[in-house]
Amino acid sequence: MSIWRLDPTVSHLNHGSFGAAPVPALEAQQRWRDLLESNSTRFMLEHYQPALDRARERLAEFVGADPAGLAFVNNATEGVNAVLRSLEAILRPGDEIVITDHGYNACRNAATVTAARTGARVVTASFPFPIDSPRQVIDGVTAAVTDRTRLLLIDSVTSPTALVLPVEELVTALEPGVEVLVDAAHAPGMVDFDVSSIGASYITANCHKWMCAPKGSAFLYVREDRRPAVYPAVVSHGYNGAWPAAGGHLHTQFDWTGTDDPTAWLSVPDALDAVGALQPDGWEGVRRTNRELCLAGRDILVDALGVEPPAPDSMIGSIASIPLPGSSEPAGTIFDPMMARLRSKWSIEAMVFGWPRPPERLLRISAHQYNRIEEYERLAEAVAAEL
């Protein structure tokens, strides 16, 4: 599509990793940068806070959030770190942080560091993949919760296995006795996502993935009763009220954490407008058509590989993972050597990585508005040739 700057000679089937910003959002970001660089002092002291508040209002409307509880961060991992660092003040030796074995490695690392600092311990809840039902997720997570559990860190959509998890049901089952931090990195723009209806203590998500904002844009939402105790991972002028944000504690703490380029945040409304205009029914149509294409692409691949779909359709959004036969090739990193061959020999970008550990591996595909069904057919041909 003409609104994307993606290389047309490559099949981009990995939107889920880093996103892709449409031209109108990139042009808006450049206008903000031009304004910033024309007079940085005036921009930061006069333009920045009103523009940030307008962008936050638009984002809050899109995700169903109270703007007072919404702070911009650079990525969801930063949001997770901010919450964990804030909770270190109340965690005690023997307390438990529950994560899952489908979680994002960076966030698992953050939980591990917080546990080491406080004497708490990380408990890993398990559920299978392939999987038959969301009930298996609920059972696996609740079985790991004890009377020492203080926090559950759970993905809304898992990164490695690409599963839409029953987060609302888990929040209902555990809150308020156990605080829930939802890593919703993939959710806004992919699935029907409403912060208020989820009800978790903390929710963080990326804007640069399925919402297609420029990279470096994400948010942290904190429920009203938890806000006074939450601080950014980088403490700055807002700690003693020296930054004049007008939205209460969370904005005062997060709106200025040092000199940076805030233009990705300010361009979020332009990304929402540009992508929403691609379907007659707006973002509802974007989510629907992306999901339909993803399911069709998954079906092409499982047919080519002669395997059953590893998850029910109800647990799939706009990314899907498929187990591949184990590899005998040594993998120097989490990324399987096939991934590099798909890029170099076939001009296809798709995730192939070891999970839960090599030689076991997964192929993960994504679908967005710039993709076509023929790309998944060619991917199936390439994977069959590389196995």
Residue in 263, 233, 217, 216 with CA at minimum distance from that of residue 78: 233
Helix 373-386 × helix 282-305 angle, to 10°: 30
Domain ranges of the chain: 23-273, 281-386
Kindly give the pairing relationship between strand 351-354 and strand 361-366: antiparallel
Q: Is 60 exceeded by the pLDDT of residue 10?
A: yes
Task: Answer with the residue of higher pLDDT: 334 or 347.
Answer: 347
Q: Is 70 exceeded by the pLDDT of residue 170?
A: yes
Residue 333 confidence class, pLDDT cut points 50, 70, 90: confident
Q: What is the largest CA-CA distance in the chain?
A: 62
Give the C-alpha separation, 19 to 37, whole Å.
Answer: 26
| Structure confidence at residue 306 (pLDDT) | 95
Give the Å distances, CA to CA, from 102 to 155, 162, 182, 199, 265. Answer: 8, 9, 13, 22, 29
Note the CATH number of domain 23-273.
3.40.640.10
Kindly state the percentage of the chain with pLDDT values over 90: 94
Fold exhibited by the domain 281-386: Aspartate Aminotransferase, domain 1 (3.90.1150)
Q: What is the mean pLDDT of residues 157-174?
A: 98
Mean pLDDT of the chain: 96
**Burial (Cβ within 10 Å: 0-12, 13-18, ≥19) of residue 332:** exposed
Q: What is the mean pLDDT of residues 25-54?
A: 97
- Does pTM surpass 0.95? yes
Q: Is 70 exceeded by the pLDDT of residue 1?
A: no
Q: What is the mean pLDDT of residues 47-66?
A: 97
User: Distance between the two ends of the chain, CA-based, in angstroms?
Assistant: 32
Residue 194 confidence class, pLDDT cut points 50, 70, 90: very high
Residue 297 confidence class, pLDDT cut points 50, 70, 90: very high
Contacts 24+ apart (CB under 8 A), 138-141: 138/166, 138/169, 138/170, 138/173, 140/100, 141/98, 141/100, 141/170
Q: Is 80 exceeded by the pLDDT of residue 59?
A: yes
